[in-house]
Amino acid sequence: MTRAPAEPHAARVPRAASSGQRRRPRLVGLGTATPAHVLAAADTRLRLARLWRLTGDDLDRWQRIMVASGIDTRYGVLPPEEVLGLSTEARMQAYERLAPELAGRAARAALRDAGVRGGDVTDLVVVSCTGFSAPGVDVALVQTLGLRATVRRTMVGFMGCFGAIVGLRTAVGACAAQDTAVCLVVCVELCSLHLPSVPSPENQVAAALFADGAAAAVVVGDRAPAVRPDGGARGELGRVTTGRSRLITRGRDWISWRITDAGFAMTLSRKVPAALGAVVPAIVDEAIALGDARPECFVVHPGGPGILDAVDDGLALGGGFGIEAARHVLRHYGNMSSGTVLFVLAEALRRGHRPPALLVAFGPGLAVETLLVLPAR
């Protein structure tokens, strides 16, 4: 691995004027969960080649795509043999049946990490782009987690891989409006339910990259209770800003996620990595100015190895400053859409990185979303 420079791109940006004694909402807990069904790369490559009946050049291309994905292991709620050929209706029935359990496991882990009981939650934000039902995952979580019937519920739907940042931003708004609020953000994505029946090059890329997973975070207002059930003081992971949003309009159709009669269809243009590498430095500068801090860690959504390479180069991270956590998550979990950036944040913290940390994610639009986590004190 290339030795990281003394300072990444963003560390060279002058500090913005002090924002005074503003007390931002606190991030106090994280949790993640994956399904039980393991999709090892070598096995998946063979199974899908057989299911798609690939031969000749088509088979060679599929094998190259799988190797280039950089993914060793992913997880899914159902094996590919049970998904291929299902109608969109059948896929949505599977989502309604399977998503709440996975979401609930991630949510319980985040609540435990924060030392919060279900009855303490005042706001629930559920993020997903891989399924629809009403009543949905939000109502199921109210029932299974023991949340109050008065909890305020928000659904963030169909925004793609940057959904977790939008969910966290929604939590920040709720906690800023009521400084005693306790907000639970839950992302759940069952990408495997949209395994395409037609093995076009675009569909093969999607099948190689995407996976299932759930992630959750607890964000609280400045005057929310801060005591664990065991009586100890709850540790804070950091304070959260509203972040920045940027549309790269020339890339409107470079990432798409559309509903078809055979599930949801994903496209990802080869133009995306270079475009992101070119604009991310300026977007990061804007996020730093808003948050009044220089990131020491970059929590980047692992949309694919090419995207990580482009961001690594664009920000002059030299393979460090948190980008290694994103590569780890991509290799061991794949791209789980919205919640993946929270997996990366948890991995970065496990590796010893600390705020200020900048979360960066990308998705349809072409959109870039950022959110800065500041030190707790």
Query: Cα separation of 141 and 127, whole Å?
Result: 12
Query: What does the CA dihedral 305, 308, 309, 310 come to, rounded to 10 degrees?
Result: 120
pTM of the predicted structure, to 2 decimals: 0.92
Query: Cα separation of 24 and 223, whole Å?
Result: 11
Sign of CA dihedral 312, 318, 323, 325: positive
Q: Per residue in 244-258, pLDDT tens?
A: 899 998 988 999 999
Q: Per residue in 44-83, pLDDT tens?
A: 999 999 999 999 999 999 999 999 999 999 999 999 999 9
- 291 confidence band (pLDDT: 50, 70, 90): low
With beta carbons less than 8 A apart as the criterion, state whether 73 and 1 touch: no
Could you give the angle at which helices 323-333 and 305-314 cross, rounded to 10 degrees?
Answer: 180
Residue 4 has pLDDT above 50, yes or no: no
Residue 142 has pLDDT above 90, yes or no: yes
Best mean pLDDT range from 2-6, 275-279, 296-300, 373-377:
296-300
pLDDT of residue 15: 42
Residue 307 has pLDDT above 60, yes or no: yes
pLDDT of residue 232: 35
Residue 233 has pLDDT above 60, yes or no: no
* Residue owning tokens 């694919």: 304
What residue ranges define each of the domains in the chain, with the CATH number in brackets?
A: 9-17+237-374 (3.40.47.10), 29-220 (3.40.47.10)
* The two three-digit tokens of residue 343, written as one number: 């997996």
Residue 18 has pLDDT above 80, yes or no: no
A 10 A CB-CB count for 63 gives: 14
Amino acid occupying residue 90: A
Percent of the chain with pLDDT over 70: 91
* The two three-digit tokens of residue 2, written as one number: 């290339």
pLDDT of residue 21: 47
Q: Per residue in 101-122, pLDDT tens?
A: 999 999 999 999 999 999 999 9
pLDDT of residue 8: 66
- 236 confidence band (pLDDT: 50, 70, 90): confident
* The two three-digit tokens of residue 221, written as one number: 């207002």
- 11 confidence band (pLDDT: 50, 70, 90): very low
Contacts of 39 by beta carbon, 8 Å cutoff, 6+ apart: 73, 74, 75, 76, 80, 192, 211, 334
Amino acid occupying residue 45: R
Give me the chain's average pLDDT, please: 90
Amino acid occupying residue 263: G
Query: Coil, helix or strand for 350?
Result: helix
Query: Cα separation of 127 and 118, whole Å?
Result: 18
- 292 confidence band (pLDDT: 50, 70, 90): low
Query: Cα separation of 278 and 51, whole Å?
Result: 39
Pairing of the two strands 263-268 and 297-300: unpaired
